[in-house]
Chains A and B, each alone.
Chain A
Amino acid sequence: MNAFATDMTAEPDGVPETAHSEELLRVDNVSLSFGGVKAITDISFDILKGEIRAIIGPNGAGKTSMLNVINGFYHPQEGTITWRGKERRKMKPYEAASQGIARTFQNVALFKGMTTLDNIMSGRSLKMHRNFFWQVIWRGPAEREEIEHRRKVEDIIDFLEIQAIRKTPVGRLPYGLQKRVELGRALAMEPDLLLLDEPMAGMNLEEKEDMSRFILDVNQEFGTTIALIEHDMGVVMDLSDRVVVLDYGKKIADGPPEEVQANQNVIDAYLGVSH
């Protein structure tokens, strides 16, 4: 779980290919519905340790719902989720977080009233333990703990190159920077699995390039496993190791980018076919 702290100093050349064989998470036959509406139907796939896994599909295909299932926000009616080889029981989102699943959101879900620094510090919440008593006193343990975590957070701020907006309330930042702060907040949790919900939505080309580089760096330098949803096919094909394609809540393809790109079902789903 302390991937970030340790891997900061680890070999920078990336994770050896062998790491890609170990299974981190798998979903089996998961179905989810709201009332009568089926959001996800019988989907199975796995995420291997150290890979970048893309989930793509047209709007309303159930991609975000899938992420919500993975981090415990929605509870599927059917199917199982296996996390690190153990079948996961029904859990609350904060339990998923404490097991090492972090995430960013499609519509930026930053804490608007707080500064960039505080937002990223909030990602450290799970790792800070001084209780109310020490917090009240502040001097001593609570302050030391705060400084210790501040150091880690400053590393992330340096990594994402957002030093200049450290003390700016995030509500005032432009959209692209907000997305970056949100990534920083998720990184502060030192997750094993990082879920990115359209990290590049609404960005211009330059911002997309920056963001792609950050994602690759996170994956290669810290060895963080990443599952991402993205609409920009160029980005998806470049970044991801494997792609799963959803349409109308069903899985229609799964495999390496080139393979998926050539798949007839996928082409039909995106371009539409005459029935």
Chain B
Amino acid sequence: MLYDIFIDPFVQMYEMPDFFLQVLWEGFVAGILYALIALGFVLIFKASGVFNFAQGIMVVFAGLTLVGLNENGVPAYLALALTIAAMGILAYGVERVVMRPLVNQPDIILLMATIGLTYFLIGFGEFVFGGEPKQMITEELGLPTGSTAIEFGERGLVILQHIDIAAAVIAVLMVAALGIFFNKTRIGRALRAVADDHQAALSVGISLNQIWAIVWFAAGLVALATGIMWGARSDVSFALEIVAFKALPVLILGGFTSIPGAIVGGLIIGFGEKIGELYWGGLVGGGIESWLAYIIALIFLLFRPQGLFGERIIERV
């Protein structure tokens, strides 16, 4: 028993390095996608202190809109443009209808409001596009398909899906773009000011409403990218919503306001989950992927309650 837990998995890793590398790659890709979802959370949390539960459903919604439009005869790139526009309208609507009236309410109320938004978007999405899973229009969008096998001489081979590589590249580009946007532009500076203190930001003439709309739009774009990537790997369905919960442990590891934190947290969870499932999951009957992420985050939290990148909390009275 002890052998199964402490030794056997590592022996396997050594003996079948190709399988281990494959697992690492899977973990890496899953991690990137978690990180992308978490990124959407971070954007909104940074600017408004709202824990946006609807980010998961926004991913689905963006994917659905894109595919749904294409199914109805809209060319792929036009559909993409229209979807971006739709995310813009959604962002404006959320700011106008949800955020603005709820300014200064306690966190839990805002959290609830985004869960209400989740319900609404689920109903709306299913109402317009139907509830059944859809195929992502990967090829139409000009995204790579197929896979490359990398051989290791005698020791086997690792298969890399092209779409996964594209996902990684796009994620990196997006993070870089957001980093520049946050740190180098005027709006980015206003955004950080709002994140620090709403009232102080207002007092120096920053429009909260405008900033929030921008942030929700940015989160919408991130959601769209995530939706495309995720949809290309499996399909576009509301089952994705449950995956969005994984963003919470990711955020807890990385900190709610740190963009690099989201990436690192996502990768830790992605690697940890895949390795845990494939090497240890079998011992308890499998399927531990559903909760392992939370346990990993929990253990981290017990030792570092402030998250990986957070500053040490000094309590004051």
Contact = CB atoms under 8 A, between A and B. Distances in A.
Q: Does A associate with B in a complex?
A: yes
Interface string A24-43: 00000000001100000000
B317 A73 contact: yes
B105 to A, nearest CB: 15
Contact of B317 (A34, A35, A105): A105
A68 B314 contact: no
Interface residues of B, number: 4
Interface in B270-317: 312, 314-315, 317
Is chain B's interface secondary structure helix, strand, loop, or mixed overall? Answer: loop
B312 A109 contact: no
Interface string B163-179: 00000000000000000
Interface residues of A, number: 8
A64 B317 CA distance: 8
A109 B317 contact: yes
Q: Helix, strand, loop or mixed for chain A's interface?
A: loop
A73 to B, nearest CB: 7
Nearest to B311: A35
A183 to B, nearest CB: 16
A87 B312 CA distance: 30
Contacts of A105: 317
A68 B312 contact: no
Contacts of B314: 34
Contacts of A106: 317
A105 B317 CA distance: 7
Contacts of B317: 64, 68, 73, 105-106, 109
Contacts of A64: 317
A106 to B, nearest CB: 8
A73 B317 CA distance: 9
A64 B314 CA distance: 14
A34 B314 CA distance: 8
A269 to B, nearest CB: 23
Contacts of A35: 312
A48 to B, nearest CB: 25
Interface of B: 312, 314-315, 317
9 contacts: A34-B314, A35-B312, A64-B317, A68-B317, A73-B315, A73-B317, A105-B317, A106-B317, A109-B317
Interface of A: 34-35, 64, 68, 73, 105-106, 109
